[in-house]
Chains A and B, each alone.
Chain A
Amino acid sequence: MSFLTLNSVKKAFGANTVVKDFNLSVAQGEFVSFLGPSGCGKTTVLRMVAGFETPTSGAIGIDGQDVTRLRPNQRNIGMVFQAYALFPNLNVAQNVGFGLRVARMPKAEIDARVDEMLRLIGLRDLGERYPFQLSGGQQQRVALARALAPKPRVLLLDEPLSALDAKIRVSLREEIRSIQKQLGITTIFVTHDQEEALSISDRIVVMHQGIADQVGTPFEIYNRPTTRFVAQFVGTLNLLDARVLDAARGHVQVGETPVALNRSLNGAGEAISLALRPEVIALGQREGHDVTLSGLIRDVNFLGSVIRVRMEVAGHSISLDTFNRPDAPPPAVGTKAEISVAARDLLVLAD
């Protein structure tokens, strides 16, 4: 059963429609990420769930209750902001306890709950500190504890890691995920960082120009993107133009080389785009790789454990990754080489 539902939600600011017909249902305890470039409407959808924006049309429901017209302070949601938004005049414990004091909880219960929350985020000793005395990562953990303390029905995270440096970003996202699993709280996480979304989500909503392009598990989104935008936005992607020779049997031609895709291409036009991830391409022949293309090595980047090679194949720039092997030096720039892929790893993109 879905816990949080958005039904054909639309939002327009004047003539500018930011969110167009957005539908989503989130199960209780699920961790859903909204992924997309800036301006795609992901934050607007989140703010509508929070109640900071009112949908132009459509409905939002939480746990069977229609909250579309409810004010933010009546929705019982927890929100974490990119800029932390801790109250500078309150210390850590008072910040975490703010929602509980607003709810008029008895003092002893507030103290117990604040202590529990501070233990959860591992900052038990810093209750007396003020926000300006904390690092960015600590501040954001306090903001998380503050949002979680009143036991909200839904946790909303608005790019919570964007303001932090790379190392903290990775450790804190894992911490967020583990706390979320521990509490089993329904969570929406907004980000423009695909690695972040892929690594911690149950499901990802890839958004583009106010529309949910694709909704799926990280594995589905990465390996079976359904639109060109999703394929290009998530991960690195190589594109090859191909001409369809026999749509029913899936025969196409890349440059001069015929390629058998072994699946029906009915409905596709005469010219199609094939996409492939860098890691599915092998330099030279490999067992199971039934498609071979030849090209010219243009660039070699030795990155340590991985060697990233850029090649020119049939007029397209293709980049591929190979693992470093001490007994095989990287290929030389300017030499001819063959690459091979498995036909099933070639994605056919719909426009």
Chain B
Amino acid sequence: MKRRFPIFSTLIVLLAAAYFLIPLFAAFEFSLHMKRGYLSFAAYRSVFHSDEFISTLTFSAVASFAAILLGAILVVPTAYWVRLRLPKLRPVVEFLSLLPLIIPPVVLVFGHLRLFGTGSFLPLTMSEMGTNILLVMGYVILSLPYMFRAVDNGMAAIDIATLTEAAESLGASRWRTIVDIIFPNVRSAIVSGAFLTFSISLGEFVLASLLNRPAFGPYMVQLGQDRAYEPAALAIMSFALTWLLMAAMQAFANRKPGQRLLPRIRSSASTSKAQ
């Protein structure tokens, strides 16, 4: 029996897509009009040629990578230990990891400033490096809900308790087990968490602005106030970057062990059979 073409659902999809795509297209179209009378990528060129663009993007990228690293070091052993030894505490830890979604970043940053400001027991804001550390710590906290969830789900997908016992019965120490067995098996989960962390931190405004760091978020906002065409170009680029990250996340998350990111032509037939 042949089903009728689903007109109604298709219409809804098209409408929703239009709602999302038309403004995007409008912004893109607008960003091409910097030179009067004809279409060009002048706005993009202008953005790329600005030193501030390069320096703020680099700063934010480095800060984001630091946040990813610190977040993974914090979250992976915690999630592992909670699942293995303290399963009763899991709801508590989960709730704690969700707190950054409830508490606005403004509150967070003022808390930071009070705790680590001038005259505190650890005056991190006194030095540039200290402030950078505060910023990275803030990013770790902001990305905690996503990082913890991703890693925790990754651990739920494998039987970490039995894998740990198997490794231990083969003589491996706890540390060795985490490094050789647990970490590689939740790697795709960590990578997903990392991409989410990256996309949050890269354009983050509140923390960077209030800590007065030369980050990408404040630069974008400043540019939006000063210029007309460049912000549209920046918006389009940041969308493209986000989509790229999403695609990379999918690719990593769905990868089977031993499989290449892009399958080799020669062996593609044999691997597809095994799956």
Contacts and interface: CB of A to CB of B under 8 A. Distances in A.
B185 A89 contact: yes
A44 interface: no
Nearest to B176: A102
Interface in A116-144: 129-130, 132-133, 143
Contacts of A218: none
Contact of A99 (B159, B170, B275): B170
A179 to B, nearest CB: 18
B257 A81 contact: no
Contacts of B257: 88-91, 130, 132
Interface in A71-89: 71-79, 81, 83, 85-89
Given A73-B171, A99-B171, A85 B256 contact: no
Contact of A98 (B165, B167, B256): B167
A72 B180 CA distance: 17
Contacts of A102: 170-172, 176
A77 B187 CA distance: 29
B152 to A, nearest CB: 17
B184 interface: yes
Interface in B168-193: 168-173, 176, 180-181, 184-185, 187
A79 B164 CA distance: 12
Nearest to A50: B169
Given A72-B165, A130-B257, A98 B170 contact: yes
A297 to B, nearest CB: 50
Interface residues of A, number: 34
A29 B134 CA distance: 61
B181 A81 contact: no
B28 to A, nearest CB: 42
Among B170, B184, B187, max chain A CB count under 10 A is at B170
Given A73-B171, A102-B172, A130-B258, A79 B166 contact: yes
Contacts, number: 81
A150 B162 contact: no
A103 interface: yes
B158 interface: yes
A132 B256 CA distance: 9
Given A50-B169, A103-B171, A132-B256, A88 B185 contact: yes
B211 to A, nearest CB: 39
Given A87-B181, A89-B181, A133-B274, A78 B256 contact: no
Contacts of B274: 129, 133
Nearest to A146: B170
B224 to A, nearest CB: 45
B163 interface: yes
A86 B187 CA distance: 17
Contact of A87 (B168, B176, B185, B275): B185
B168 A72 contact: yes
A286 B186 CA distance: 68
A323 interface: no
A50 B171 CA distance: 11
Contacts of B258: 91, 130
B259 to A, nearest CB: 8
A73 B166 contact: no
Interface in A32-84: 50-52, 71-79, 81, 83
Interface string B141-163: 00000000000000000110011
A190 interface: no
Nearest to B259: A130
Contact of B162 (A85, A91, A130, A156): A85
B169 A77 contact: yes
Nearest to A79: B169
Among B159, B165, B176, B256, max chain A CB count under 10 A is at B165
Contacts of B172: 73, 98-99, 102
Nearest to A90: B257
A83 B162 contact: yes
B165 A85 contact: yes
A198 interface: no
Contacts of A78: 169-170
Contacts of B163: 85, 87
A147 interface: yes
B189 to A, nearest CB: 12
Nearest to A71: B168
A90 B258 CA distance: 8
A52 B165 contact: yes
Given A81-B162, A88-B158, A132-B256, A147 B185 contact: no
A146 B170 CA distance: 8
Nearest to B163: A85
A347 to B, nearest CB: 40
Contacts of A71: 168
Given A50-B165, A51-B169, A103-B171, 13 more contacts: A73-B168, A75-B169, A76-B171, A79-B165, A83-B159, A85-B159, A88-B158, A89-B257, A98-B172, A99-B171, A99-B172, A132-B256, A133-B274
12 contacts: A73-B168, A73-B170, A81-B162, A85-B159, A87-B167, A88-B185, A89-B181, A91-B257, A133-B274, A146-B166, A147-B169, A147-B170
- Lowest 3 A-B CB distances belong to which pairs? A99-B170, A89-B184, A79-B169
